Structure 1
Amino acid sequence: MKKTILASTILAALATPAMANNANGDTDIEQIKIIGSKTDARNVAGSSAVIDEEQMRIEVPSDINQLMKTIPGVYVREEDGEGLRPNIGIRAATAGRVSKVTLLEDGVMMAPAPYSNPAAYYFPTTFRMSSVEVLKGAPLLRYGPQTTGGVLNLVTTPVPEDFGGQVLTEFGENSSRDIHAHVGGTKGQWGFLLETVQRSSDGFKEIDRSSRDAGFDIEDYVAKLQWTGERQSLLAKVQYSEEISNETYLGLTDEDFAQNENRRYGLSEIDQMDNSHKGYSLNYAFEATDNLTFTILGYYNDYARNWFKLDGGNAYVSAANNGGAEALAILLGTQDEAGLNYKNNNRAYESKGIEANAQFVFGTHNLEVGVRDHSDEMDRFQPVEIYDQVNGSLVYQGEVMPTGGNNRLEGADAISFWLTDRWQATEDLNVHFALRYEDVESYRNQFADTAREQLDSARSNDSDEWLPGVSFTYDVNDNWQVLAGAHKGFSPLGGGAKEFQEPETSNNYEAGVRFNQGSFFAEAIGFYSDFSDTTQQCSIANPCDNGAESGNYVLGESVVRGLEFQASNTFEAGSFLIPIDVTYTYTKGEISEDNLNNLDGDELADIPQNMFSMRIALDNQQGWVNYVVAKYADEMCVSTGCNRSNSRFDKTESVFVTDFVSRYEMNNNMAVYFKVENLFDQQKIVARSPHGARPNKPQSASFGVEYTF
Structure 2
Amino acid sequence: MKKSLLSSSIIAALLVSAPSFANDSIDLDADIEQIKIIGSKQESRATAGSSAVVDEEQMRIEVATDINQLMKTVPGVYVREEDGQGLRPNIGIRAATAGRVSKVTILEDGVMMAPAPYSNPAAYYFPSTFRMSSVEVLKGAPLLRYGPQTTGGVLNLVTTPVPETFGGQVLTEFGENSSRDIHAHVGGTDGQFGFLLETIQRSSDGFKTIDRSGRDAGFDIEDYVAKLKWTGDRQSILAKFQYSEETSNETYAGLTDADFAENPNRRYGISEIDQMNNHHDSITVNYNLELSDAVELNVLGYKNHFKRNWFKAGVAKGLINAANNGDLDALAVLHGEQDYQDITWTNGNRGYDSYGVEINSGIELASHVIEVGLRDHTDEMDRYQLKEVYDQINGSLVFDSFIQPTGGDNRLEKAEAMSFWVTDNWQVNEDLLVHFALRHEDVDSSRRQFATPDRSELDSARSNNSSEWLPGASFTYNVSDNWQVLAGAHKGFSPLGGGAKENQQPETSVNYEAGVRFNQGSLFAEAVAFYSDFSDTTQVCSIANPCPNGAESGNYVLGESVVRGLEFQASNTFEAGSFLVPVDVTYTHTKGEISKDNLNYMDGDELADIPQNTFSVRVTLDNNDGWINYVVAKYADEMCVSVGCNRSDSRFDRTESVFVTDFVSRYEVDNNMTVYLKVENVFDQQKIVARSPHGARPNKPQTASFGVEYTF
Same fold (TM over 0.5): yes
Structure 2 counterpart of 1:251, which letter? G
* Alignment match, 2:473: 470
* Alignment match, 2:633: 630
1:219 CA drift (Å):
0.3
Structure 1 counterpart of 2:105, which letter? T
Give the whole-Å Cα distance in 2 for the aligned partners of 1:641 and 1:13. Answer: 49
Q: How many percent identity over aligned positions?
A: 76
1:12 CA drift (Å):
2.8
Q: Is the 8 A contact 1:45 1:432 kept in 2?
A: yes
Match of 1:505 among 499, 505, 508: 508
* Alignment match, 1:85: 88
1:277 matches 2:280 = yes
* Alignment match, 1:351: 354
* Alignment match, 1:363: 366
Give the whole-Å Cα distance in 1 for the aligned partners of 2:414 and 2:703. Answer: 41
CA-to-aligned-CA distance 1:372-430 (integer Å, 9 cap, x gap): 00000000000110000000000000111110000000110000000000000111000
* Alignment match, 1:380: 383
Give the whole-Å Cα distance in 2 for the aligned partners of 1:5 and 1:121. Answer: 32
1:674 matches 2:677 = yes
1:5 CA drift (Å):
5.6
1:155-166, aligned counterparts within 5 Å? 155-166=158-169
Match of 1:407 among 399, 407, 410: 410
Q: Is the 8 A contact 1:13 1:357 kept in 2?
A: no
* Alignment match, 1:13: 14
* Alignment match, 1:148: 151
Match of 1:321 among 320, 324, 341: 324
1:444-523, aligned counterparts within 5 Å? 444-523=447-526
Normalised to the residue count of structure 2, the TM-score between the two structures is 0.98
Please state whether the residue corresponding to 1:289 is helix, strand or coil. coil
* Alignment match, 1:335: 338
Give the whole-Å Cα distance in 1 for the aligned partners of 2:130 and 2:603. Answer: 44
Match of 1:55 among 46, 58, 68: 58
* Alignment match, 1:255: 258
1:17 CA drift (Å):
6.0
Give the whole-Å Cα distance in 1 for the aligned partners of 2:364 and 2:570. Answer: 33
Q: Is the 8 A contact 1:16 1:294 kept in 2?
A: no
Give the whole-Å Cα distance in 2 for the aligned partners of 1:293 and 1:55. Answer: 32
Match of 1:641 among 634, 644, 648: 644
CA-to-aligned-CA distance 1:337-370 (integer Å, 9 cap, x gap): 0000011000000000001110100000001000
Give the whole-Å Cα distance in 1 for the aligned partners of 2:135 and 2:667. Answer: 24
Q: Cα RMSD (Å) of the superposition?
A: 1.2
Give the whole-Å Cα distance in 2 for the aligned partners of 1:18 and 1:688. Answer: 56
Give the whole-Å Cα distance in 1 for the aligned partners of 2:30 and 2:481. Answer: 29
1:27 CA drift (Å):
1.1
1:2 CA drift (Å):
7.4
Q: Is the 8 A contact 1:17 1:359 kept in 2?
A: no
Q: Is the 8 A contact 2:274 2:311 kept in 1?
A: yes
* Alignment match, 1:665: 668
1:392 matches 2:433 = no
* Alignment match, 1:293: 296
1:18 CA drift (Å):
10
Please state whether the residue corresponding to 1:510 is helix, strand or coil. strand
Give the whole-Å Cα distance in 2 for the aligned partners of 1:335 and 1:661. Answer: 46
1:574 matches 2:596 = no
Structure 1 unaligned regions, length at least 5: none
Q: How many residues matched? A: 706
Summarize the Cα distance change of 1:592–1:701 in structure 2 as closer, same or farther, 3 Å threshold: same
Normalised to the residue count of structure 1, the TM-score between the two structures is 0.99
1:544 matches 2:547 = yes
Give the whole-Å Cα distance in 2 for the aligned partners of 1:387 and 1:140. Answer: 48
Give the whole-Å Cα distance in 1 for the aligned partners of 2:278 and 2:17. Answer: 42
Structure 1 counterpart of 2:631, which letter? V
1:30 CA drift (Å):
1.2
1:24 CA drift (Å):
6.7
Q: Is the 8 A contact 1:214 1:247 kept in 2?
A: yes
Please state whether the residue corresponding to 1:40 is helix, strand or coil. helix
1:422 matches 2:411 = no
1:289 CA drift (Å):
1.1
1:451 CA drift (Å):
0.9
Give the whole-Å Cα distance in 1 for the aligned partners of 2:196 and 2:188. Answer: 7
Q: Is the 8 A contact 2:171 2:707 kept in 1?
A: yes
Please state whether the residue corresponding to 2:291 is helix, strand or coil. strand
Please state whether the residue corresponding to 2:392 is helix, strand or coil. strand
Give the whole-Å Cα distance in 2 for the aligned partners of 1:623 and 1:592. Answer: 54
Structure 2 counterpart of 1:335, which letter? Q
Summarize the Cα distance change of 1:17–1:279 in structure 2 as closer, same or farther, 3 Å threshold: farther
1:141-220, aligned counterparts within 5 Å? 141-220=144-223
Structure 1 counterpart of 2:12, which letter? L
1:101-116, aligned counterparts within 5 Å? 101-116=104-119
Q: Is the 8 A contact 2:34 2:159 kept in 1?
A: no
Q: Is the 8 A contact 1:510 1:528 kept in 2?
A: yes
Structure 2 counterpart of 1:591, which letter? I
Match of 1:558 among 557, 561, 586: 561
Q: Is the 8 A contact 1:598 1:641 kept in 2?
A: yes
CA-to-aligned-CA distance 1:490-534 (integer Å, 9 cap, x gap): 000000000010000000000000000000000000000000000
* Alignment match, 1:44: 47
1:579 CA drift (Å):
0.1
Summarize the Cα distance change of 1:339–1:367 in structure 2 as closer, same or farther, 3 Å threshold: same
Give the whole-Å Cα distance in 2 for the aligned partners of 1:194 and 1:282. Answer: 16
Summarize the Cα distance change of 1:17–1:676 in structure 2 as closer, same or farther, 3 Å threshold: farther
1:25 CA drift (Å):
2.1
Q: Is the 8 A contact 1:472 1:485 kept in 2?
A: yes
Give the whole-Å Cα distance in 1 for the aligned partners of 2:304 and 2:491. Answer: 29
Q: Is the 8 A contact 1:614 1:629 kept in 2?
A: yes
Please state whether the residue corresponding to 1:675 is helix, strand or coil. strand
1:9 CA drift (Å):
2.5
Give the whole-Å Cα distance in 1 for the aligned partners of 2:254 and 2:357. Answer: 41
Structure 1 counterpart of 2:497, which letter? G
1:31 CA drift (Å):
3.1
Please state whether the residue corresponding to 1:329 is helix, strand or coil. helix
